[in-house]
Structures are given as C-alpha cells and as structure tokens.
Amino acid sequence: MARPWFGARPPASPRRAIACFALSLLAGCSQAPLDVPASLGSLNGRARLEGVYTDQSGITLRLSGAGGEHVTRTDTTGMFAFSEIPAGTYSLSA
C-alpha cells in the first residue's frame, strides 16, 4: 500500500502537536518577567468643619498607610485632592 505522504513529512499526531506547542510556550517563559510599575491612584473630596459655614480653607488632611504619609490642605470650599498614591490601605485624618 502506498503512503500518501511518501517523500514528505508525515502528519503530526495531536499529542506531538500539543507537546511542541507546550515546549514553545515554556521556551517563551524562560525570559525574566518585565517589571510592572506599582499602580497609583488618587483620592479627592470635600472636608467641612462642623459648625463653620463660610471659609473651609486650610484644613490639613493626612493620608497614612503602607505607601507612606501624604498631606494636603483644603481650598476655600473645603475641596481636597491626593494624587499619585500607591495602592494599599490608608487612614485619613484631619
């Protein structure tokens, strides 16, 4: 009986194809992973002093946690913003 692939490569078995694919994936994984920068976030809002209904400026806010301590002050309407804060758990104090 003549073989239809005579003179050419025989078709690869499914197991052989899977093994070759797995080896190529492993070869691609042998390189060192890329350094991924830590994600940064922001926090903003409005702070109000109880009993004060006019100027809300100058309230000092501290954000303390694993990413260190960050300090900001409110504007005349009490608005504040923290930016470029590393991911983590923080405590906010005024």
**Which range marks the domain in which residue 49 is found?**
40-93
Asked if residue 72 is part of any domain, the answer here is yes
DSSP-derived letter for residue 89 is -
Q: What is the CA radius of gyration of the chain?
A: 31
Confidence of residue 45 (pLDDT cuts 50, 70, 90): very high
Asked if residue 20 is part of any domain, the answer here is no
Residue 19 has pLDDT above 60, yes or no: no
DSSP-derived letter for residue 8 is S
Asked if residue 2 is part of any domain, the answer here is no
Asked if residue 58 is part of any domain, the answer here is yes
Domain tally for the chain? 1
Asked if residue 86 is part of any domain, the answer here is yes
Greater model confidence, 39 or 3: 39
* Sequence-ordered list of residues with C-beta below 8 angstroms from that of 74, at least 6 positions apart, any chain: 46, 47, 56, 57, 58, 59, 61, 80
Give me the chain's average pLDDT, please: 75
Confidence of residue 39 (pLDDT cuts 50, 70, 90): confident
- Find the DSSP H helices in the chain: 14-29
